[in-house]
A and B are shown apart, each in its own frame.
Chain A
């Protein structure tokens, strides 16, 4: 049903989404934790910056990333200086872009979960002489488990559905930057509608299953 290049695109998409989600959990958890505990006026601007990819068109993000990560941009100069080379047209570049693009989808569920825990369980842990780090891992993380699940699923699914940014900075290179959404677009542009249907229908089923799983997990989490 799928051609070898379709399969390569599917594999690449899964790889990108997995790497991105793992990085997002690493980066997003401390950010969400800070945001949930923050009382200063900084909270507003910081939350706004984190949420910006929600409202910015992917073309804006993609365009600025192309300029920033290019040879004349500050990020591009840094990566060249550091010996990594330039990020556009590489898998690494897509990972960076996806992390930025999906950040709110991971931070916001985590922040909500952390806020729902409140201060008391952590204060209790502190009176039992747990260090803040210990309290975080043995109290906050287990209590925020539904939040972590939601964040993981949303981060993964949103990265799979990414298109505009990849189109702007990817360069459509097989096995490096040609993800499923770009492959579908290619099929449509080339008027190969049969091949486009195969992948597009797969995406529809995938999105439905992901959101269904999310819904079921959430309703079970609430009941227990």
Chain B
């Protein structure tokens, strides 16, 4: 009985030391899951992932959320957290550069030059809220560069994050929308529907930064996670989902 108890105690102590709590931007959920699997296989540590909007994570982290690492959808939030003392200086780095894609669940609806934006023939165009979602802001920049913003703005339906923008398009309620390439790409190919990868020169680069948070200070699993994220193995996964790095 006593050995069992001791073993149990040792086990829970180990389990606690080996876990890292990661807040992950919604657009990065698929690659993060895969990286977490490889991470566990390679290091024995376990990454507990929470997915959501970066702005929401910011509010939660500022108010004592137990996250140890943040994989943000932008580069501003990690910098802001660092400035406010909620993240550790010198741990910030870009783990992925996102690509924007105009996507429709219907095959042949979006041509490979994005002419559909000028042609029209749709009632709703979904995008993540440009006020706080980097992919939404990039979409507005691209439409501005194409001189189509005024014509298309009345057709906007705004999702709270890029995952919901994808849901609006996937369910057919919006004929097309701006989503992250990572959401529609599977094994290096377009999964379903039709898409136009928006040229990178039409918007500011969508730099996604990772940072160690105050709660992760001195935790081996959190340090291992950040190191693994920079490994060639993780980067190969990240590129497979259409990010650049």
A173 at interface (Cβ–Cβ under 8 A)? yes
B29 at interface (Cβ–Cβ under 8 A)? no
Complex Cα distance A191/B123, Å?
31
Assess whether A66 is in contact with B171, with CB atoms less than 8 Å apart.
yes
Given contacts A71-B172, A89-B173, A171-B126, contact A190 B158 (CB under 8 A): no
The listed residue (B58, B164, B173) touching A70 by CB distance below 8 A is B173
Chain B residue at minimal CB-CB distance from A182? B160
Complex Cα distance A171/B169, Å?
12
Assess whether B129 is in contact with A171, with CB atoms less than 8 Å apart.
no
Assess whether A89 is in contact with B157, with CB atoms less than 8 Å apart.
yes
Q: Which residues of A contact B167 (CB under 8 A)?
A: 66
Complex Cα distance A122/B159, Å?
52
A35 at interface (Cβ–Cβ under 8 A)? no
Complex Cα distance A126/B20, Å?
72
Name the interface residues of B191-205: CB closer than 8 Å to any CB of A.
none
Assess whether B173 is in contact with A189, with CB atoms less than 8 Å apart.
no
Complex Cα distance A191/B55, Å?
7
Chain B residue at minimal CB-CB distance from A177? B157
Name the interface residues of A151-172: CB closer than 8 Å to any CB of B.
167-169, 171-172
The count of chain B contact residues (Cβ–Cβ below 8 Å) is: 23
The listed residue (A85, A89, A172) touching B129 by CB distance below 8 A is A172
Interface 1/0 per residue, B120-155 and A, CB below 8 Å? 000110100101100000000000000000000000
B225 at interface (Cβ–Cβ under 8 A)? no
A23 at interface (Cβ–Cβ under 8 A)? no
Complex Cα distance A100/B12, Å?
46
Given contacts A189-B129, A190-B131, contact A86 B173 (CB under 8 A): yes
A210 at interface (Cβ–Cβ under 8 A)? no
Q: Which residues of B contact A185 (CB under 8 A)?
A: 160
Assess whether B173 is in contact with A71, with CB atoms less than 8 Å apart.
yes
Given contacts A190-B55, A190-B131, A191-B55, contact A172 B160 (CB under 8 A): yes
Assess whether B172 is in contact with A70, with CB atoms less than 8 Å apart.
yes
Complex Cα distance A172/B172, Å?
17
Q: Which residues of B contact A67 (CB under 8 A)?
A: 171
The listed residue (A69, A71, A190) touching B132 by CB distance below 8 A is A190
Complex Cα distance A185/B59, Å?
12
Complex Cα distance A85/B123, Å?
10
Min CB distance A148 to B, Å, is 36
Given contacts A86-B173, A189-B129, contact A171 B53 (CB under 8 A): no
A115 at interface (Cβ–Cβ under 8 A)? no
By DSSP majority rule, is chain A's interface helix, strand, loop, or mixed? loop
Complex Cα distance A167/B56, Å?
15
Given contacts A171-B157, A171-B158, A172-B159, contact A188 B171 (CB under 8 A): no
Complex Cα distance A88/B157, Å?
10
Given contacts A72-B171, A186-B131, A190-B132, contact A171 B159 (CB under 8 A): yes
Min CB distance B175 to A, Å, is 9
Complex Cα distance A171/B159, Å?
6
Assess whether A172 is in contact with B132, with CB atoms less than 8 Å apart.
no
Assess whether B124 is in contact with A171, with CB atoms less than 8 Å apart.
yes
Complex Cα distance A190/B128, Å?
12
Assess whether A189 is in contact with B55, with CB atoms less than 8 Å apart.
yes
Min CB distance A123 to B, Å, is 52
Q: Which residues of A contact B171 (CB under 8 A)?
A: 66-67, 70, 72
Interface 1/0 per residue, A132-147 and B, CB below 8 Å? 0000000000000000
Complex Cα distance A72/B174, Å?
12
Cβ contacts A to B, 26 pairs, < 8 Å? A70-B173, A72-B171, A72-B172, A85-B123, A86-B173, A88-B173, A89-B157, A89-B173, A89-B174, A167-B160, A171-B156, A172-B160, A173-B158, A185-B160, A186-B132, A188-B55, A188-B56, A189-B53, A189-B55, A189-B131, A189-B132, A189-B160, A190-B131, A190-B132, A191-B55, A191-B59
Residues of B within 8 A of A (CB): 53, 55-56, 58-59, 123-124, 126, 129, 131-132, 156-160, 164, 167-168, 171-174
Extra inter-chain contacts (19) besides given A89-B157, A189-B131, CB under 8 Å? A66-B168, A66-B173, A70-B172, A70-B173, A71-B173, A72-B172, A86-B173, A89-B174, A167-B160, A169-B173, A171-B158, A171-B168, A172-B157, A188-B55, A189-B53, A189-B129, A189-B132, A189-B160, A191-B55
